[in-house]
Amino acid sequence: MHIVSLVIENEEKKYEVNEGELIWDELERQGKKLPAGCLAGSCGTCRINVLEGVDSLAPKGAIETETVNHLMDQYKKKYGEDFLKDKNIRLACRARIKGSLKITPLKEKI
């Protein structure tokens, strides 16, 4: 069992999660709904910033990689390179848990 710490508006809540499961599914199972659109990894609505424990997620697959790269390009255009300096963008609907981590939804519009 691992812990996903979810930070929203400076408030942190911890959820026990199962290894190998998707972040979005594990939080939803416990009644916490993260933003979502397609739940297939192509819309980017469920984008999160991994604040701690980026290595506690399985590597990105092809779909997540493509979507995250597109999101990063859009963020760079709108907010500049500095915006991405402290960001580890993943998709909650595609990111598989390998260990404990801390995340926050990315709310900035693109």
Identify whether 45 is part of a domain.
Answer: yes
- Domain count for the chain, please give it: 1
Question: CATH number, domain at 16?
Answer: 3.10.20.30
pLDDT digits (tens, 9 = 90+) for 19-47: 999 999 999 999 999 999 999 999 999 99
What pLDDT is attached to residue 36?
92
Kindly report the backbone phi and psi dihedral angles of residue 22, in degrees, each rounded to the nearest multiple of 5, phi listed first.
-80, 145
SS3 label, residue 54 = helix
Residues 33, 67 contacting (CB under 8 angstroms): no
Residues 53, 95 contacting (CB under 8 angstroms): no
Identify whether 110 is part of a domain.
Answer: no
Give the chain's length: 110
Strand 11-17 to 47-52 pairing: unpaired
What pLDDT is attached to residue 55?
97
- Domain extent, residue 48, equals 2-105
